[in-house]
Amino acid sequence: MTLEVVNPNAAGIDIGSRSHWVAVGQNAEDVKEFGVYSEDHEALCQWLTKHKVTSIAMESTGTYWQNLFSSLVAHGFDVILVNGRQTKNIKGKKTDIKDCQWIQKLHCLGLLSSSFLPDSTTDIIRTYSRHRQNILQQSARTVLKMQKYLRLMNLRLDVVVKDIVGETGTKIISAFIAGERSGKKLAENRHYNCRKSEEEIAKALQFNGRADYVFALKHEWGTYLHLQQQLNEVDAQIKELLTDIIDKDDNKKQHVATQKTHKRKNKNTLRGTDMNQMAYQYFEGIDLMAIEGVNDATIMSIISEIGLEGIKKFETSKQFTAWLRLAPNNKISGGKVLNHHIPKGSSRLKIALRNAANAIGNLKEGHLSDFFKRICYKKGRTTAINATARKLAVIIWNMLVKEMPYESPTQYLFLDEKRKLGLVKRIKKQIAKFELQPDQLGFAIT
CATH number of the domain bearing residue 46: 3.30.420.140
pLDDT band at 4 (very low <50, low <70, confident <90, very high): confident
Q: What percent of the chain has pLDDT over 90?
A: 64
Establish if 249 belongs to a structural domain. no
Q: Are residues 393 and 278 in the same domain?
A: yes
Give the type of residue at 172.
Answer: I
3-state helix, strand, coil in the chain (%, to 5): 55, 10, 35
Same domain, 390 and 429: no
Which structural domain, as residue segments, surrounds residue 420?
413-446
Q: What percent of the chain has pLDDT over 70?
A: 95
Look at 138-142, 166-170, 226-230, 424-428 and tell me which has the smallest mean pLDDT.
424-428
pTM above threshold 0.85: no
**Nearest-angstrom CA–CA distance, 173 and 218:** 9
Residue 85 lies in a domain: yes
Name 13's bridge partners.
Answer: 22, 58
What type of residue sits at position 153? M
pLDDT band at residue 77 under the 50/70/90 scheme? very high
Residue where one domain finishes, among candidates 243, 274, 289? 243
Q: Count CB atoms within 10 A of the CB of residue 236.
A: 14
**Is the domain of 365 the same as that of 385?**
yes
User: Confidence class of residue 411 from pLDDT cuts 50, 70 and 90?
Assistant: low
**Residue 1: pLDDT over 60:** no
| Per-residue model confidence as pLDDT tens digits over 96-143 | 888 899 999 999 998 998 888 888 899 999 999 999 999 999 999 999
Report pLDDT for 364.
84
Question: pLDDT tens, 257-286?
Answer: 888 777 777 888 888 888 999 999 999 999
**Residue 394 sits in the same domain as residue 311:** yes
90 shares its domain with 149: no
What is the predicted pLDDT for the residue at 443?
64
Q: How far apart are CA 244 and CA 253, in angstroms?
A: 10
Q: Are 363 and 369 in contact (CB under 8 A)?
A: yes
Buried b or exposed e, range 87-108, using 16+ CB within 10 angstroms: beeeeeeeebebbbbbbbbbbb
Residues 283 and 165 in one domain: no
User: Which pLDDT score is estimated for 367?
Assistant: 87
What is the number of domains present in the chain?
4
Give the phi and the psi of residue 110 in degrees, each rounded to 5: 70, 30
- Please give the pLDDT value at position 412: 58
The verdict on 220 and 159 lying in the same domain is yes
